[in-house]
Amino acid sequence: MAAKKRDSRAAKSAGRKKKSKAPKGSERVAKRLGRPLSQPAPEAARLQAALRDTIERDISDRMAAHQREVERLRAARAARPDAQQPLMILAHGDSWFNYPLKGNSVELPVRDTDIIAHLKKMGSPSPKILNISHFGDATTDEMGLAKQKRLIKALTTPENWLDGKPDVILFSGGGNDIAGDPFCIYLNYKTTDSHTPGLDSDRFAGRLASVKASYLDLFLFRDRYANGVPIFGHGYDNARPMQPHPPCTGPWMKPSLEFTGWNDEEGAAILLDALTRFRRVLIDLEGSPKNYDFTVVHTEGTLAKSDWANELHPYPPGFKKLADRFLAKLRDRFRGRI
């Protein structure tokens, strides 16, 4: 009888064991980590949060400095109502508008060397620029929810503008949508067939469609929160694959080109093809019958080979050349204001 009971208990235990299934895939990994996969590792989460806080503090400091300038301008206008008022600009973009390095070198104190850093010292009178750009942003980041909220705050804070809104919005976006590890997605593998193109047209067209959507959303956003304010963008310059890069990031294109079998000369042709297609998107938007009030600053062909510090950024004198292109376009639109 006792043996029968033991057999019965063993059978039930086996049945229970049979019913309990081993955790699968992500469940096993999550159990090992002690947290859901969607939750980042504590150290990574801490670093991400610290970076976000640093960026927000930096932009908040820029905004406070800009507001002090606007307050000074209001006092000057009250004293001399007929004096020429400077152009009021909102800048939003990537590392071409926010580059805190000198070429590939990190120097202290940190000093921006980008287009906006040069443009704010140019012109007569010099423009007043509220720069909420941040290096590393793709257009999908720049027009994502968090950045749109930042844009709304910048546009609707009365202390930021002399007459309720900026005169013009400068936008830099599209380069980071292509550069970096994802660049290999749009490349064909090099084969013995000399007719194989480096850039896959179908895959790259999908990426350009995403970039175009971001620009179209920017225009809609402008119409809602800064109606009547023109937007100026640009198409970068003709980058080439190269090895030098800052200690903190890069290279961005050369690894993907090497991975798919293309040498530097072939890679330069592929990059030119990609950038030409990107510029065509911007030019089509500029000339659209829908009249988006969008101006393309033609920065291509500005930089000499020696101006490039790395694959994406020039040395400070190169950024100054690019700022000259912006200055010329702004003077065409706002005669006597800059």
- 67-126 pLDDT, tens per residue? 999 999 999 999 998 888 999 999 999 999 999 999 999 888 888 999 999 999 999 999
pTM, to two decimals: 0.84
Strand partners, 201: none
> 75 or 14: which carries more pLDDT confidence?
75
Tens of pLDDT, residue by residue over 290-302, are 999 999 999 999 9
Task: Quote the distance between the C-alpha of residue 283 and its chain's center.
Answer: 19
Most confidently modeled range among 16-25, 99-108, 162-171: 162-171
Secondary structure E strands in 4-133 = 88-93, 128-131
**Model pLDDT, residue 253:** 95
> 212 or 25: which carries more pLDDT confidence?
212
Q: Judge whether 98 and 108 are in contact, CB under 8 Å.
A: no
Domain ranges of the chain: 86-333
Strands 88-93 and 128-131: parallel
Strand order across the 128-131 sheet: 128-131, 88-93, 168-172, 231-234, 294-297
The CA dihedral of 16, 17, 20, 23, to the nearest 10 degrees, is 170
Asked if omega into 241 is within 30° of 0 (cis), the reply is no
Tens of pLDDT, residue by residue over 49-62, are 665 677 788 899 99
Mean pLDDT (the chain) is 88
Distance CA 100, CA 135 (A): 9
- Helix (H) or strand (E) segment spanning residue 19: helix 2-19
Domain 86-333, CATH among 3.65.10.10, 3.30.450.40, 3.40.50.1110, 3.30.70.3040? 3.40.50.1110
16 pLDDT higher than 90: no
Distance CA 214, CA 225 (A): 16
Give the percent of the chain with pLDDT over 90.
Answer: 71
Distance CA 56, CA 58 (A): 5
- Give the mean model confidence (pLDDT) for residues 129-151: 90
331 pLDDT higher than 80: yes
**Model pLDDT, residue 22:** 46
